């Protein structure tokens, strides 16, 4: 039986508001009952029972969250009072809530299909949401509160929902994560240091069954060394070695592991059978991956299962990883727009030169992109996105999707869809254009110079979704992957610092370096590169070409009128020949295919 939470408010006479089913990890689901109602906390709330109880009872008495959303960790909390129900989702959106209001009652839960069933609605995929997730994931405002299940809404990262017994429904952002104009790198580094130390300490102190990733990258390696500070003895750490991959992560991981003899390094070696796309067409592979939403990581399911199996063999319960570190600590290229202002032009010129040199671009082209973005409000960007989809739908000149997307294209609110736009049907392009125009109408006056900060928050929510899917994938292995970087306090510490202050090219993640300078060995913090396993996509596409073609020719997305399967197959053929293809978009499309096949629709 799959675990899950499902509820109805107001409940039927003498009925329970919340029902839970399935196995839960220790501490994953907690409940506090009081005279005014009940608080349910789901996820990684790291507070002890006494503090949680005191905080929950105060929230029930006042009707507000008080300190309930400020406890350490990352979690969803439900405050159920006699006259109202209020839900608060964690800052990263690791623990979203889905709901459907029938008029008489609010049906809510952690699984969108279960919500549709309990509300008596038909199970139908929302094709517009699926298409937006594949072709413009960097523009989450396109779909608003809609979920991938038609008629079911989603409360995402940092959002809140309230429903009264009289039927009034309110939604708002309880965790706005606004930047602090007075923030400095030094103050933010101190806040990050405290938050990250707490996030690790409360997870590992006194725990026997703990392990960690040691990828050789900055984020996971830093967490491994922080873990050593808070528990005695050795720490099992796992490192992945790709199947004939040219990635140098293993070299760095071995070098870092030698810095402390307490790190017990276990190398997980990939094979041809764990390449990307292996097993997507059989019941033991992608078709056996049960997820609530499309999971792009399903294309690497064989590799993920290999790694989780190794962690389980180590006897680990909690396994720490660095997910979220890049989203928080690497400023999106759009941050440059914040420098395209009169008082910061000298800094713009300096950083444009540094970034251009690293990527073999012209500094003037980098600066010009930044200036153009600064002059492009969010509403304008959405209208341009709509124009591109409309040109594709009508077959007009200059339609979107005719070229590759490069680094310069990321100096934007989002990179414009590239050659993958050619996979869309005209009807789907028209629908996406309509979504973009509708979103533009409600975008307000959000200025272009804010693009970096807002894109960074979107990236954090994407990381939250990635970690959620990994956590669910790990349940059968008895492992609980946890990402301290996605704790709300850690996110607050980083988000308070404007994105343009989180960047100092050519330095890599200067905020983390300042925060952990005397806690993590200097050689770890000195790494300036990041591993790339993209060659496994190409090798996997060649090895699994027949199975992938079978999936695409019999495409569920094509049946729904979203894509032209022949166009996607043509892209796959290019990948088999070693030519450039938009692998991220292909992986998102395959994730949607697998999800549609694994869900029973009626």
> Residue 71 pLDDT > 60, yes or no?
yes
Is 445 part of a structural domain of the chain? yes
Indicate if 446 and 297 belong to the same structural domain.
no
Distance CA 534, CA 451 (A): 28
Q: What is the pLDDT of residue 206?
A: 84
Question: Which of 188-192, 343-347, 403-407, 580-584 has the weakest average pLDDT?
Answer: 403-407
For strands 73-81 and 37-45, give the pairing: antiparallel
Indicate if 159 and 200 belong to the same structural domain.
no
User: For 118-128, what is the mean pLDDT?
Assistant: 97
Indicate if 337 and 197 belong to the same structural domain.
no
Question: Which of 82-86, 353-357, 525-529 has the weakest average pLDDT?
Answer: 525-529
In order, the DSSP letters of 158-192 are: TEEEEEETT--EEEEES------TT--HHHHHHHH
pLDDT tens sequence across 253-301: 999 999 999 999 999 999 999 999 998 866 444 555 678 999 999 999 9
Is 555 part of a structural domain of the chain? yes
Indicate if 168 and 300 belong to the same structural domain.
no
Domain boundary among 454, 488, 505: 454
Residue 212 burial (10 A CB sphere; 0-12, 13-18, 19+): buried
Indicate if 17 and 164 belong to the same structural domain.
yes
Question: Which of 44-53, 161-170, 245-254, 472-481 has the weakest average pLDDT?
Answer: 245-254
Q: How many CA atoms lie within 13 A of 107 on its CB side?
A: 17
Q: What is the pLDDT of residue 398?
A: 46
Is 283 part of a structural domain of the chain? no
Instruction: List Cβ<8 Å contacts ≥24 apart for 252-257.
Output: 252/216, 252/217, 252/221, 252/527, 253/214, 253/215, 253/216, 253/221, 254/216, 255/523, 256/214, 256/216, 256/221, 256/521, 256/523, 256/524, 257/214
User: For 144-164, what is the mean pLDDT?
Assistant: 98
Q: Give 526 or 483, the one with higher predicted confidence.
A: 483
Q: What is the pLDDT of residue 405?
A: 74
Q: How many structural domains is the chain composed of?
A: 4
Is 37 part of a structural domain of the chain? yes
CA angle 278, 94, 439 (to 5 degrees): 95
Task: Look up residue 380 and give its two tokens.
Answer: 């304008």
Is 282 part of a structural domain of the chain? no
444: helix, coil or strand?
A: coil
Indicate if 515 and 586 belong to the same structural domain.
no
In order, the DSSP letters of 239-283 are: EEE-SS----HHHHHHHHHTT-TTEEEEEEEP-GGGSTTTTTTST
User: For 430-445, what is the mean pLDDT?
Assistant: 95
Which domain, by its residues, includes 562?
544-598
Q: What is the pLDDT of residue 527?
A: 86
Q: Angle of helix 534-543 relative to helix 565-576, nearest 10 degrees?
A: 110
Indicate if 229 and 257 belong to the same structural domain.
yes
């Amino acid at each position: 039986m799959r675990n899950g939470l499902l509820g109805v408010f107001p409940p039927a006479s003498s009925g329970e508001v919340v029902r839970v089913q399935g196995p839960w990890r220790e501490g994953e689901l907690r409940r506090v009952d009081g005279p005014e109602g009940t608080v349910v906390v789901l996820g990684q709330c790291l507070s002890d029972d006494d503090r949680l109880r005191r905080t929950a009872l105060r929230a029930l008495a006042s009707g507000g969250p008080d300190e309930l959303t400020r406890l350490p960790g990352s979690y969803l909390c439900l405050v159920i009072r006699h006259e109202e129900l209020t839900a608060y989702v964690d800052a990263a959106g690791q623990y979203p809530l889905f709901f459907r209001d029938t008029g008489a009652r609010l049906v809510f839960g952690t699984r969108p299909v279960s919500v549709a069933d309990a509300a008596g609605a038909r199970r139908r995929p929302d094709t517009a949401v699926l298409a937006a997730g594949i072709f413009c994931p960097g523009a989450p405002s396109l779909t608003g509160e809609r979920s991938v299940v038609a008629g079911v809404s989603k409360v995402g990262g940092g959002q809140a929902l309230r429903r009264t017994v009289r039927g009034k429904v309110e939604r708002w952002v309880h965790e706005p994560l606004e930047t602090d104009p007075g923030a400095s790198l030094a103050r933010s580094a101190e806040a990050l240091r405290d938050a990250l130390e707490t996030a690790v300490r409360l997870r590992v102190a006194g725990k026997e069954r703990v392990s960690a990733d040691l990828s050789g990258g900055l984020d996971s390696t830093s967490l491994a060394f922080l873990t050593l500070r808070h528990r005695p003895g050795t720490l099992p750490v796992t490192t992945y070695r790709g199947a004939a991959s040219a990635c140098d992560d293993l070299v760095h991981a071995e070098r870092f592991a030698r810095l402390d003899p307490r790190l017990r390094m276990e190398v997980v070696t990939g094979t041809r059978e764990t390449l990307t796309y292996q097993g997507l067409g059989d019941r033991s592979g992608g078709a056996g991956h049960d997820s609530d939403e499309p999971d792009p990581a399903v294309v690497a399911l064989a590799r993920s299962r290999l790694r989780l199996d190794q962690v389980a063999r180590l006897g680990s319960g909690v396994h720490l990883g660095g997910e979220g570190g890049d989203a928080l600590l690497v400023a999106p290229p759009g941050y440059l727009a914040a420098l395209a202002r009169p008082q910061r032009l000298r800094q713009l010129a300096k950083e444009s030169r540094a970034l251009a040199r690293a990527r073999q671009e012209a500094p003037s082209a980098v600066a010009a992109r930044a200036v153009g973005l600064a002059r492009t409000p969010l509403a304008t960007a959405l209208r341009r996105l709509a124009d591109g989809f409309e040109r594709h739908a009508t077959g007009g000149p200059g339609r979107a999707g005719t070229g590759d997307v490069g680094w310069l294209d990321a100096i934007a609110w989002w990179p414009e869809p590239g050659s993958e736009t050619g996979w869309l049907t005209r009807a789907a392009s028209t629908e996406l254009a309509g979504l973009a125009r509708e979103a533009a109408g409600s975008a307000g006056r959000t200025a272009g110079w804010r693009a970096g900060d807002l894109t960074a928050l979107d990236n954090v929510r994407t990381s939250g979704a990635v970690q959620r899917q990994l956590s669910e994938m790990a349940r059968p292995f008895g492992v609980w992957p946890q990402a301290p970087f996605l704790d709300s306090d850690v996110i607050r510490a980083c988000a308070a610092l404007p994105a343009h202050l989180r960047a100092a090219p050519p330095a890599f993640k200067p905020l983390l370096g300042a925060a952990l300078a005397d806690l993590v060995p200097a050689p770890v913090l000195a790494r300036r590169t990041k591993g790339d396993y993209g060659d496994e996509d190409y090798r996997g596409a060649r090895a699994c070409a027949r199975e992938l073609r079978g999936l695409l020719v019999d495409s569920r997305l094509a049946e729904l009128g979203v894509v032209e399967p022949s166009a996607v197959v043509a892209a796959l053929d290019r990948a088999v020949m070693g030519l450039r293809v938009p692998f991220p978009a292909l992986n998102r499309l395959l994730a949607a295919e697998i999800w549609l096949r694994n869900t029973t629709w009626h």
